[in-house]
Amino acid sequence: MATTRLAIDAHEIRRQFPFFQPHPEMRSVIYLDNAATTQKPYAVIEAVSHFWAYQNANVHRGGHGAGAKASALYEAARECVAKFLNAREPAEIVFTRGTTEAINLVASSWGETFVRAGDEIIVTEMEHHANLLPWMRLAEKQGATLRVWRITDDGRLDLDALRALLTERTRLVAVVHISNVLGTVNPVAEICRIAHEAGARCLVDAAQSIAHMPVDVQAIDCDFLAFSGHKAYGPTGIGVLYAKRALLEEMPPYQVGGGMVRIVSWERRQWAEPPAKFEAGTPPIGEAVGLHAALDFIDSLGREAIAAYEHELTEYALRRLQEVPGLRLHGPVPDRAGIFAFTLEDIHPHDIATVLDTRDVAIRSGLHCAHPLGERLGGATARASLAVYNDTSHIDALVEALHTTRKVFGYA
Ligand code: PLP
């Protein structure tokens, strides 16, 4: 595969990441656990370190210059996210700790206000716990019903099955953009359209798509969308909730405290406008600066170019994985993202990951925080997942290590 043809040179990109440079404290590994978290480029590490060293102050509080500068950096990060998602305005961007907190925010604030006894919430069978447990808990609390949109045998969502599930009591459809297990890329714009026709809201979990393809909230027309910085080359501890302005206006605060209120007296309180209304307490300031640098890094490569490159790498991986006897890959083929959950012969997935680790190939194994999906798939799986710094040599090393694993466990 000629990587330069697609304007992405993974070898050149790896030079921008300290994790891939030789270091006395580090064993060099082929990193294929990107769905769990991505590595960080120098640009992100340096932006964060520069902030803590020279720009640190609290935001939206101090009367001093350092506070004004930190506030400007924090709001510049919000503007960057708004542009990245093509939101209508920065006020539609709420900073959170990650995807998990963003979805919990929606379930608590919007859910406890607008979901009533007898209402229905639709979740898909392929959701990560982050987009499942908040809705399970909300349904129990409000006396609502959770409806499960089952996957097809090849790991896709059938839109007619959604149409059949929707009723006039459906308040929300919660759907993952790219499955963290199956690699399925869901048609979220179509799903939102169908949900809206039935009068329901739609929330998209973009944790696995944000760094790998263009994500445009106006084109998708989702009501809510969530992602985490750390899966997009940025820091941990920062994530984003996008929500349409009108929804944020009518939602009550999630947490209360400093920074989210205009007037507090013994008699009354007046909340700040969104997004401040949802950002109680000192926010993750340095992390927002790091997220800004991470999104700039992604845009410096180009999201179309990343998607095209990873698509070609995924096709290569699908071809090469087929060569391994006894390997059973889950999820759709060939139309999918670069996340490969599989089993190999009767070898336990934890054992696969352990043997691969001895060959310096880092993958994940287990149920990937999607237990109901794991149940449907018949148990735990090993999972390799790609990012823009991976290339065909990494897939070759994975395949080689899988052949070794078979031998270690006595398969000829
Ligand atoms: N949603 C999906 C699809 C994920 O893959 C993950 C993490 O793996 C999450 C949500 C949760 O992200 P975080 O732990 O960063 O909140």
List, for residues 165-213, the tens digit of each pLDDT value: 999 999 999 999 999 999 999 999 999 999 999 999 999 999 999 999 9
* Confidence tier at 6 by pLDDT (50, 70, 90): low
Interstrand relation of 93-96 and 239-243 (parallel, antiparallel or unpaired): antiparallel
250 pLDDT above the threshold of 80 = yes
Q: 369 CA to middle of ligand 1, Å?
A: 8
Per-residue confidence (pLDDT) for residue 314, from 0 to 100 = 98
List, for residues 204-240, the tens digit of each pLDDT value: 999 999 999 999 999 999 999 999 999 999 999 999 9
| Minimum CA distance residue for ligand 1 atom 7 | 36
Bigger pLDDT: 61 vs 244: 244
- For residues 65 and 82, give the distance between their C-alpha atoms in angstroms, rounded to a whole number: 26
Q: Provide CATH code, domain 46-299.
A: 3.40.640.10
2 pLDDT above the threshold of 60 = no
Which residue's entry shows tokens 């399970």? 136
Catalytic residues: 369
* Ligand 1 environment, Cβ below 6 A: 35, 98-100, 128, 130-131, 176, 180, 205, 207-208, 228
The pair phi, psi for residue 17, each rounded to 5°, is: -120, 120
Q: 180 CA to middle of ligand 1, Å?
A: 8
- For residues 273 and 94, give the distance between their C-alpha atoms in angstroms, rounded to a whole number: 12
List, for residues 82-96, the tens digit of each pLDDT value: 999 999 999 999 999
Query: What are the structure tokens assigned to 177, written together?
Result: 């953009």
Mutate to test the pocket of ligand 1, among 33, 95, 96, 100 (most ligand atoms within 8 A of CB): 100
Per-residue confidence (pLDDT) for residue 4, from 0 to 100 = 40
Domain assignments of the chain as residue spans, ordered by start: 10-40+302-408, 46-299
Q: Provide CATH code, domain 10-40+302-408.
A: 3.90.1150.10
5 pLDDT above the threshold of 80 = no
Say if residue 70 is exposed, middle or buried (CB neighbours under 10 Å; 0-12, 13-18, 19+).
buried
Q: 344 CA to middle of ligand 1, Å?
A: 25
The pair phi, psi for residue 361, each rounded to 5°, is: -115, 120
List, for residues 300-354, the tens digit of each pLDDT value: 999 999 999 999 999 999 999 999 999 999 999 989 999 999 999 999 999 999 9
- For residues 131 and 203, give the distance between their C-alpha atoms in angstroms, rounded to a whole number: 9
pTM: 0.97
* Confidence tier at 26 by pLDDT (50, 70, 90): confident
Contacts of 187 (CB under 8 A, 6+ apart): 157, 159
Say if residue 262 is exposed, middle or buried (CB neighbours under 10 Å; 0-12, 13-18, 19+).
exposed
3-state SS string for 195-242? HHHCCCEEEEECCCCCCCCCCCHHHHCCCEEEEEHHHHCCCCCCEEEE
